């Protein structure tokens, strides 16, 4: 994606605390009592994506869970995500996302969002036409306040969305995919400059009430392979590099969608579970609020839900 971005965002002074460790010794240190939540937070931006990917390959499933649990990452927008003992969800009703001609059902959609614990209500308008994209976004914004918890409305990022932000439409979180190692999502026309522009545009609306983490990212092992852009590099390393890029934009939430992409290249459910644990560990180790996508594709009108594991 952008080696320069990863280098420029590396915390060299904090790296001194772990610079002498081999990959195996780094694993032992992560599992030891010396690696406290405070210590891990201090070295998070000193850990390179390649280090995170390498050490994850030496760890058992239980090791990944234990080490990730120590990493406390808290983000804020209209609510606070990442507090110990809490779980947040991102809900995306596909009836609004699949087609611009879909007729939304306000009562059922609002009911789903009202039951979600605080994270976001999401919309991916299947159109670049400003009228439909704006209408879908306003509908999402009107539903996000249902229930007793303040959710953020999340829009998939596109040039149309940026235009709507500049017109003052009620956009809360700006969303994007982050495959690797293309610069960075060539197929969708999104690069680092556009991501920065999107973040600045989201911040300019000042819609956050308790914080300013305005970005939401999706990625997942296999995204580069699916796009034919992996260049022979293993998927875990590319996934960790995507996290390194996401980290530079201080997102509210980052989700691994390996549960969707995994069946394209992973052998069975055990491998998908392993990949999800690796993604969760690497993201948390790098200082990201990392969640995992879960869906119910067999239902007539699937509701796509993302769980943030804290």
- In this prediction, residues 36-65 reach a mean pLDDT of 95
| Two structure tokens written together for 14 | 């904090």
- Greatest extent of the chain over all pairs of C-alpha atoms, in Å: 59
**Residues 52, 146 contacting (CB under 8 angstroms):** no
- In this prediction, residues 228-242 reach a mean pLDDT of 84
- In this prediction, residues 191-205 reach a mean pLDDT of 85
**Over the stretch 125-171, which tens digit does the pLDDT of each residue have?**
544 454 444 445 554 554 455 444 555 666 565 566 777 777 777 77
Task: Indicate the pLDDT class of residue 180, thresholds 50, 70 and 90.
Answer: low
- pLDDT value for 152: 62
How far are the Cα atoms of 66, 209, 224, 249, 287 from residue 213, in angstroms, in the given order? 27, 10, 26, 8, 14
How far are the Cα atoms of 105, 156, 160, 215, 256 from residue 133, in angstroms, in the given order? 17, 10, 8, 18, 25
SS3 state at 30:
helix
pLDDT, the chain, mean: 75
**Over the stretch 67-86, which tens digit does the pLDDT of each residue have?**
999 999 999 988 888 888 88
Query: Each residue of 153-184: b (16+ CB within 10 Å) or e?
Result: bbbbbbebbbebbeeebbbbbbbbbbbbbbeb
Percent of the chain scored above 90 by pLDDT?
28
- 73/81 Cα distance (integer angstroms): 8
| Two structure tokens written together for 133 | 């994209």
List the chain domain ranges. 73-308
CATH architecture of 73-308: Alpha-Beta Barrel (3.20)
Q: Does residue 189 carry a pLDDT above 70?
A: no
Q: What's the chain's Rg over C-alpha atoms?
A: 19
- pLDDT value for 115: 47
- pLDDT value for 31: 96
- pLDDT value for 304: 44
């Amino acid at each position: 994606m952008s080696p320069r971005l990863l280098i420029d965002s590396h915390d060299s002074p904090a790296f001194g605390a772990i610079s002498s460790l081999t990959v195996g010794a780094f694993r032992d240190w992560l599992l030891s009592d010396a690696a406290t939540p405070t210590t891990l937070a201090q070295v998070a931006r000193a850990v390179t994506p390649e280090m995170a990917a390498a050490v994850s390959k030496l760890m058992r499933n239980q090791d990944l869970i234990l080490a990730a649990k120590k990493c406390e990452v808290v983000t804020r927008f209209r609510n606070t995500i990442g507090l110990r003992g809490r779980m947040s969800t991102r809900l995306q009703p596909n009836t609004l996302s699949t087609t611009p001609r879909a007729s939304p059902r306000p009562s059922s959609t609002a009911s789903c969002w009202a039951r979600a614990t605080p994270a976001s209500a999401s919309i991916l308008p299947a159109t670049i036409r400003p009228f439909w994209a704006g209408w879908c976004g306003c509908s999402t914004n009107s539903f996000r306040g249902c229930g007793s918890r303040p959710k953020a409305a999340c829009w998939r990022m596109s040039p149309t969305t940026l235009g709507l932000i500049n017109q003052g439409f009620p956009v809360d979180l700006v969303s994007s995919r982050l495959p690797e190692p293309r610069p960075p999502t060539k197929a969708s026309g999104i690069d680092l400059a556009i991501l920065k522009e999107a973040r600045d545009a989201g911040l300019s609306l000042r819609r956050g009430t308790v914080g300013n983490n305005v970005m939401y990212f999706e990625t997942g092992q296999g995204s580069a392979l699916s796009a034919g852009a992996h260049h022979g590099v293993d998927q875990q390393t590319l996934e960790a590099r995507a996290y390194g890029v996401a980290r530079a934009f201080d997102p509210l939430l980052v989700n691994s969608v390996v549960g969707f992409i995994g069946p394209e290249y992973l052998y069975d459910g055990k491998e998908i579970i392993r990949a999800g644990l690796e993604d969760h560990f690497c993201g948390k180790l790098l200082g990201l609020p990392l969640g995992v996508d879960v869906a119910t594709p067999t239902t007539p009108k699937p509701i796509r839900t993302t769980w943030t594991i804290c």
